[in-house]
Amino acid sequence: MPGGPAASSSGNPQPLGGNEMPRFGGITTFMRLPNRSEPADLDVGIFGVPFDLGTSNRPGARFGPRGIREESVMIRPFNMATRAAPFDSLRIDDLGDVATNAFNKDDSIARIEAFAGNLLAHGLKTVAIGGDHTIALPMLRAMKKVHGPVGMVHVDAHTDINDDMFGEKIAHGTPFRRAVEEGLLDCDRVVQIGVRGTGYAADDFDWSREQGFRVVQAEECWHKSLDPLMAEVREKVGGGPVYLSFDIDGLDPAYAPGTGTLEIGGLTTPQGIEIIRGCYGLDIVGCDLVEVAPIYDASGMTSRIAADLIYEMLCVLPGVERRDD
């Protein structure tokens, strides 16, 4: 029944259909999922990370989880393009938010790692709704404890490999420098896509390359499909667990203005979708979508794109069946 309850005999948690409760009604969880599950009963835990104490310019990503959940209400369970049926294949629920400490960055980082660590200890895949990009560091720390060093597909306008920001070692522009130092990444299996803009020096992106990362600058992506690139990416990052970290500012500000550190000449929304869909077949163990700041958003479009990209992440997790398979 179009718009009705999701056709499922699985007994898995399902998004609330538009004929059960109007899409503008009800409590706003991600995709109107039940928010009633215990980690032990799930395969995938979606959770919010309301945190922006690592932000260098415009703040507001602490409101990302609420904004993204609000704009996720229109998303239906079946992917008409890839034929993926994530909620029939896996037990997925929205588990609410990490109780971050609004007055303490380091305490917040510890709380995020503990929250994710609990889900990983139960064998779940994690999908974190940020929050600024600082949150990738505690996520990767949690991943290391369970999976060892992970490969990574990182979409961003920025490489986020600063040694420090204003003297601070932990900020939204430093997580991947810290991750390398702490041995959290399998550096030969890391790709950064969409980086661009102005730098402090000509060698700003070179530290990443020296670690073994593949750095794909935005100009390499202009005016073309990223399907061929993603074949290369799968080749490079495959063969082990992979973390997917998507900074919404990887997209062009024309599509995603609701964020803190804008750079022109970014990826298109279809290219963002191609990147995520191109991760199908990888052993993805966790994902995040970060840096959405709804207070700068126009008509909720950035949050809406973010919500759909998170849905696309669910569609490429290991174990998700495609109806034509």
Binding stretches for Mn ion (CB under 5 A): 133, 156-158, 160, 247, 249
Instruction: For tokens 């294949």, name the residue.
Output: 89
Neighbour order of strands in the sheet with 185-195: 92-97, 44-49, 125-130, 283-290, 241-247, 150-155, 185-195, 214-217
Closer by beta carbon to Mn ion, 141 or else 158: 158
Closer by beta carbon to Mn ion, 67 or else 131: 131
Could you tell me which residues are beta bridge partners of residue 44?
92, 125
Phi, psi of 235 (to 5 degrees): -65, -40
- 299 exposure class (CB count in 10 Å sphere: 0-12, 13-18, 19+): exposed
Closer by beta carbon to Mn ion, 125 or else 133: 133
Closer by beta carbon to Mn ion, 249 or else 308: 249
The answer to whether the Cα torsion of 316, 60, 170, 261 is positive or negative is positive
Kindly state the smallest distance separating residue 208's Cβ from Mn ion, in Å.
13
Kindly state the smallest distance separating residue 154's Cβ from Mn ion, in Å.
8
Closer by beta carbon to Mn ion, 20 or else 204: 204
Kindly state the smallest distance separating residue 92's Cβ from Mn ion, in Å.
25
The answer to whether the Cα torsion of 295, 301, 304, 310 is positive or negative is negative
Closer by beta carbon to Mn ion, 249 or else 274: 249
Kindly state the smallest distance separating residue 260's Cβ from Mn ion, in Å.
8
Q: Residue 17 corresponds to which tokens in the numbers above? A: 């259909």
Closer by beta carbon to Mn ion, 247 or else 288: 247
- What one-character-per-residue DSSP string does 259-311 give? SSS--SS-B-HHHHHHHHHTTTTSEEEEEEEE---GGG-STTHHHHHHHHHHH
Amino acid at 124: L
Q: Write b or e for each residue in 61-84: b if 16 or more Cβ atoms lie within 10 A of its Cβ, otherwise e.
A: bbbbbbbbbbbbbebebebeebeb
The CA-atom distances, in angstroms, between 41 and each of 33, 93, 112, 310 are 14, 10, 21, 21
Kindly state the smallest distance separating residue 30's Cβ from Mn ion, in Å.
21
Kindly state the smallest distance separating residue 158's Cβ from Mn ion, in Å.
4
Kindly state the smallest distance separating residue 278's Cβ from Mn ion, in Å.
20
Closer by beta carbon to Mn ion, 88 or else 288: 288
